[in-house]
Chains A and B, each alone.
Chain A
Amino acid sequence: MSKVRVLVGTRKGAFILTSDGKRENWDVSGPHFAGWEMYHLKGSPVEPNRLYASQSSGWSGQVMQRSNDGGKTWETVGNKFTYDGVPGTHQWYDGTPHPWEFKRVWHLEPSLTDPDTVYAGVEDAALFISKDGGQNWEELSGLRGHGSGPHWQPGAGGMCLHTIILDPSNPSRMFIAISAAGAFRTDDSGKTWKPINHGLRSQYIPDPTAEVGHCVHHIAMHPSRPGVLFMQKHWDVMRTDNAGDSWQEVSGNLPTDFGFAIDVHAHEPDTIYVVPIKSDSEHFPLEGKLRVYRSRTGGNEWEPLTKGLPQSNCYVNVLRDAMAVDALDKCGVYFGTTGGQVYASADAGDTWAPIVRDLPAVLSVEVQTLS
């Protein structure tokens, strides 16, 4: 029988939640790395017990962890992230040049074909690759070397590369997103990159349709349709049907189109999920009601999903990497909140229940479907 393993990164440690395919009863393991910020954990698609985890703290910086047994035991791997060449400068909040400085790993993306290859998206924004299971890291500097790099600026959370999407149909193609530079695509395995922000409109930058400078919060893809991407931007939910060459807004009837998380149903490429957040200055749900919105039409037409979610006095946030789906039938949908709840739906969002209620603030949620 299938099993589900949910990897939860929080501000004060990591937790691993496991259940059988019914997804009714859950075992909770953790905290792992208690007291440390766990920005992201993710398993290899080809070797699911191979997990990678980003562990960091203001005191001691970045540590990287690897597990070969599904998170029962961990070993420390390489944490040396050195920018290629002379790092140069990007823009600081006040528009002055600021040297590129490594701060932490936000997102880990294991290869679709090799358990020893993993990508890391870091702050200050750059993309690194390890081909030896996380022991050594090398920057794919063509991204940062893109001519626009000196004009990139941090968002409120820092200048982070937070999204990495590998194209399952084209090993040379990869998408990444940076706050607040925008989305980029490579078609040559990371040597060269192209900004893919045409169609984005951001009123908070001097040129609302600039090539770079957009605060992209997250991007999601269905593996069966890799040219179609869905984006939760700072404001606006967007869609592209041509691998990012152009985007159109699909916010439709959402009550607010600000938000962080976005994901796609495992079996229905046009069914997408977002968690609308009131505004950029009020990072909590509208009216104190925690509602996931689902579109079954690839955007524009949205329905609120509320059964089992708090519908009064709820003022949590759902961060960009804190939503994921499983591959069971019916598709499971999961998200974590800054209030420490991890909610799960075993019926594609129709009904919800908390797996845990009182974890530290949740930074990331990933799901593994295990046979």
Chain B
Amino acid sequence: MIRVVLPAHLRALAHVDSEVQLEVTGPVTQRSVLEALEARYPMLRGTIRDHTTQQRRPWLRFFACQEDLSHEPPDAPLPEAVATGTEPYLVVGAIAGG
């Protein structure tokens, strides 16, 4: 079971109030986790990754195990601790705005 922590505004959009738990089949990568997330919560499509390019939206970052994975290749394996559910995969909103 993969654990995903979303920023507050995306939790509200997805109607969840805590971290999300997902089943991911096959290799656990950023792409497979985000695809499983969007399949379960279709309202999140386009809000984390661009619909067409699949690029991360610029004001969001991806963290796990105290590392910034935002610039890692989408098909690179995520840390074992994320794959086993020990540690969450975090989608983090930039500190910005007013």
Contacts and interface: CB of A to CB of B under 8 A. Distances in A.
Contacts of B94: 59
B94 to A, nearest CB: 7
Interface in B8-54: 8-10, 12-13, 42-43, 45-48, 50-52
Nearest to B98: A11
Contacts of B50: 61
B13 A82 contact: no
Interface in B70-98: 93-94, 96-97
Contact of B9 (A59, A76, A79, A82): A59
B9 A36 contact: yes
Interface in A36-86: 36, 57-63, 76, 79-80, 82
B5 to A, nearest CB: 15
Nearest to A76: B43
Given A59-B94, A76-B43, A82 B10 contact: no
Contact of A61 (B8, B57, B93): B57
B73 to A, nearest CB: 23
Given A58-B96, A59-B93, A80 B9 contact: no
A34 B46 contact: no
B10 A60 contact: yes
Contact of A59 (B43, B51, B60): B60
Nearest to B50: A61
Instruction: Tell me if A's interface is mostly helix, strand, loop or mixed.
Output: loop
A59 B59 contact: yes
Q: Give the interface size bracket for A toward B.
A: 10 to 19
A80 B49 CA distance: 12
A35 interface: yes
Interface string A340-371: 00000000000000000000000000000000
A60 B45 contact: no
B32 to A, nearest CB: 21
A62 to B, nearest CB: 7
A82 B47 contact: no
A82 B50 CA distance: 11
A58 B59 contact: yes
B48 A60 contact: yes
B52 A60 contact: no
Contact of B46 (A33, A35, A58, A80): A80
A61 B10 CA distance: 11
A342 B20 CA distance: 39
Contacts of B46: 61-63, 79-80
Contact of A34 (B12, B43, B59, B96): B12
B43 to A, nearest CB: 4
A60 B47 contact: yes
A80 B51 contact: yes
A35 B94 CA distance: 14
Contacts of A58: 59, 96-97
Nearest to B52: A82
Contacts of A57: 9
A34 B8 CA distance: 11
Contacts of A60: 9-10, 13, 47-48, 57, 59-60, 93
Given A33-B12, A60-B60, A60-B93, 4 more contacts: A58-B59, A60-B48, A60-B57, A76-B42
Q: Nearest 7 pairs between A and B by C-beta?
A: A76-B43, A60-B47, A59-B59, A59-B93, A80-B51, A79-B46, A58-B59
